[in-house]
């Protein structure tokens, strides 16, 4: 029987969830789901100087919005105990003591000032600075008050296989005696994540390419602790749209929850994140989460960087918006519309008829909110105040415009039930083609909406109904 698949997402609680972090979490989640395995959220909070209060809750909220449900997390300990590193200090100390007793770790003999001086000397002599070159010949007794450094005993070439990049290697110059346990009892990242991955049975480590350079040191630790190596899954960097460098905060990278505030759907965000470094091997671009799980394969993750393109994200979001049922679409839209619009469209039972019009012009739900604040939907529940200067088509006189509207009124009064968009159009269309579409449809549009830009006047008439349509045209005639 094959080993159960276990993946993890292990962010630091620094207050900002970059789009790259969200993609790492998604890939780890998809692979665990694909294989019927376990997905863990682990909080790596050993650098207390960088911790931002509320970050753990922020991380949980982000994964919750994306629908990346974890089996074990900050509030759900596993058989190994807590998933918050600051609550696992005894575990790291025990592993560090194991290495010390084997002669594979030694108390750090250097102060920060001494290390800075040695580094500066190496730079002046134009040679690489490696702490192991200054390792003391005699190891002092470790009493727990000093930092502990890992001791490399085999200076040889490191070779490993990455599930995305294939075979990788690095020479012995990549190996150095790094700190594994600080003087305050907290482990370094380089040590803690390896101890935790082993304790939690992690089989696949989904990570960014910035960790490749440190892998030789990690491999030495795996061997020293007698830990089997996991499968390394190195994802490509996310680049600026112009592909000149990695996307960062200064380049417009936003916290992932900002996209929720802007009216993006979580399925669309997951869809886009998945394609930002992964190829399904087909022409399909729009995926449900279920489809992503079914089709996701590690060997289809890209090696080269993926460029972030918000226009493509908007396109994918629009495609997902179009797939929503009218009721679900309205539920999302309500969050971005003004209370007045929501109340009155609900009260007049018009929301289901307005939803198709909302779909036409929006790529995000915040687009709908912007249109609403500009008065885009007001004319469906509130009659406009007729403006004579807007009612006339180009150079058409008010007298001629009034005659057009009176003719339209007469045609519409003859429409028998049911009153529909098609029935309204059928009643007016021949007259419009005879007299001129601009001369007829322009004043009709403005009379019904009060706006020179609005949906088809037949659509407006169909939504607001016979009585309201006739009343608005009469009101327009009265001001001409």
- Do 334 and 326 meet the contact criterion of CB atoms below 8 Å apart? no
Q: How far apart are CA 75 and CA 195, in angstroms?
A: 20
pLDDT of res. 16:
87
Q: Can you spell out the DSSP letters for 184-229?
A: TSPBPHHHHHHHHHHHTT--EEEEEGGGTTTHHHHHHHHHHHTPPP
The 10s digit of each residue's pLDDT in 344-401 is: 998 888 999 999 999 999 999 999 999 999 999 999 999 999 889 899 999 899 999 9
Average pLDDT of the residues in 437-442: 94
Share of the chain residues as helix, strand and coil, in percent rounded to the nearest 5: 50, 10, 40
The pLDDT-based confidence of 453 (bands split at 50, 70, 90) is confident
pLDDT of res. 1:
44
The pLDDT-based confidence of 452 (bands split at 50, 70, 90) is confident
What's the CA dihedral at 85, 87, 88, 90 to 10 degrees?
140
- Do 96 and 148 meet the contact criterion of CB atoms below 8 Å apart? yes
List of domains in the chain: 1-78+236-323 (3.40.50.620), 88-235 (3.40.50.620), 383-478 (1.10.10.350)
Check whether 184 has a pLDDT greater than 60: yes
Structure tokens at 4: 């159960």
pLDDT of res. 3:
85
Selection from 317, 308, 325, 320 nearest residue 363 by Cα? 317
Average pLDDT of the residues in 93-116: 94
How many residues in total does the chain contain?
Answer: 480
Selection from 162, 156, 220 nearest residue 194 by Cα? 220
Instruction: Choose between 63 and 417: higher pLDDT.
Output: 63
Q: How far apart are CA 307 and CA 277, in angstroms?
A: 9
Q: How far apart are CA 440 and CA 421, in angstroms?
A: 17
Q: Which residues contact 315 (CB under 8 A, 6 or more apart)?
A: 363
The pLDDT-based confidence of 458 (bands split at 50, 70, 90) is very high
The 10s digit of each residue's pLDDT in 233-276 is: 999 999 988 888 888 777 767 999 999 999 999 999 999 999 99
Q: How far apart are CA 98 and CA 437, in angstroms?
A: 87
The pLDDT-based confidence of 454 (bands split at 50, 70, 90) is confident
Q: How far apart are CA 65 and CA 430, in angstroms?
A: 52
Q: How far apart are CA 177 and CA 129, in angstroms?
A: 11
Helices 457-464 and 351-361 cross at an angle (nearest 10°) of: 160
CA 46 to chain centre: 26
Structure tokens at 381: 């529940």
The 10s digit of each residue's pLDDT in 126-172 is: 999 999 999 988 878 998 889 999 999 999 999 999 999 999 999 99
Structure tokens at 237: 């960097």
CB neighbour class for 380 (10 Å; exposed up to 12, middle 13-18, buried from 19):
buried
Q: How far apart are CA 342 and CA 335, in angstroms?
A: 9
Average pLDDT, the chain: 94
Structure tokens at 121: 């000397």
Check whether 451 has a pLDDT greater than 90: no
- Give the 3-state secondary structure of residue 183: coil
pLDDT of res. 427:
96
CA 101 to chain centre: 46
The 10s digit of each residue's pLDDT in 192-219 is: 999 999 999 999 999 999 999 999 999 9
Run of H or E including 169? strand 166-170
**Hey, which residues are catalytic here?**
249
């Amino acid at each position: 029987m094959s080993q159960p698949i276990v993946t993890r997402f292990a962010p630091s609680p620094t207050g900002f969830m970059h789009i790259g972090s969200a993609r790492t979490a998604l890939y780890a989640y998809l692979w665990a789901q694909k294989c019927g395995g376990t997905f863990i959220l682990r909080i790596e909070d050993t650098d207390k100087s960088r911790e931002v209060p509320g970050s753990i809750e922020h991380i949980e909220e982000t994964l919750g919005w994306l629908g990346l449900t974890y089996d074990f997390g900050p509030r759900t300990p596993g058989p190994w105990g807590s998933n918050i590193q600051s609550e696992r200090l005894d575990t790291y100390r025990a592993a560090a003591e194991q290495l010390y007793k084997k002669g594979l770790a030694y108390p750090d003999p250097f102060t920060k000032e001494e290390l800075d001086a040695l580094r500066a000397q190496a730079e002046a002599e134009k040679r690489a600075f490696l702490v192991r070159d200054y390792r003391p010949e005699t190891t002092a007794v470790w009493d727990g008050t000093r930092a502990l450094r890992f001791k490399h005993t085999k200076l040889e070439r490191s070779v490993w296989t990455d599930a995305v990049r294939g075979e990788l290697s690095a020479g012995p110059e990549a190996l150095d005696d790094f700190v594994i346990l600080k003087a305050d009892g907290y482990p370094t990242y380089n040590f803690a994540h390896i101890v935790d991955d082993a304790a939690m049975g992690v089989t696949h480590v989904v990570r960014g390419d910035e960790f490749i350079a440190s892998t030789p040191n990690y491999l030495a630790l795996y061997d020293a602790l007698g830990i089997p190596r996991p499968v390394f899954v190195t994802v490509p960097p996310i680049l600026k749209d112009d592909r000149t460098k990695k996307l960062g905060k200064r380049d417009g990278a936003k916290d992932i929850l900002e996209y929720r505030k802007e009216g993006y759907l979580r399925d669309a965000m997951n869809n886009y994140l998945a394609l930002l470094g992964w190829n399904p091997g087909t022409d399909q671009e729009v995926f449900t989460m279920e489809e992503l799980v079914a089709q996701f394969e590690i060997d289809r993750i890209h090696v080269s960087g993926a460029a972030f393109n918000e226009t493509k994200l908007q396109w994918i979001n629009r495609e997902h918006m179009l797939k929503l049922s009218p009721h679900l679409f309205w539920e999302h839209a309500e969050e971005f519309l003004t209370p007045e619009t929501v109340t009155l469209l609900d009260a007049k039972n018009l929301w289901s008829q307005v939803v198709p019009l909302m779909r036409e012009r929006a790529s995000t739900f915040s687009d709908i909110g912007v249109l609403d604040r500009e008065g885009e939907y007001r004319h469906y529940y509130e009659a406009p105040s007729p403006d004579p200067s807007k009612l006339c088509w180009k150079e058409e006189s008010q007298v001629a415009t009034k005659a057009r509207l009176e003719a339209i009124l007469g045609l519409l009064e003859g429409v028998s039930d049911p009153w529909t968009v098609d029935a309204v159009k059928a009643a007016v269309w021949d007259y419009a083609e005879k007299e001129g579409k601009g001369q007829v449809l322009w004043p009709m549009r403005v009379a019904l909406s009060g706006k020179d830009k609005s949906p088809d006047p037949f659509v407006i008439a169909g939504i607001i109904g016979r009585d309201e349509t006739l009343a608005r045209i009469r009101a327009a005639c009265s001001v001409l």
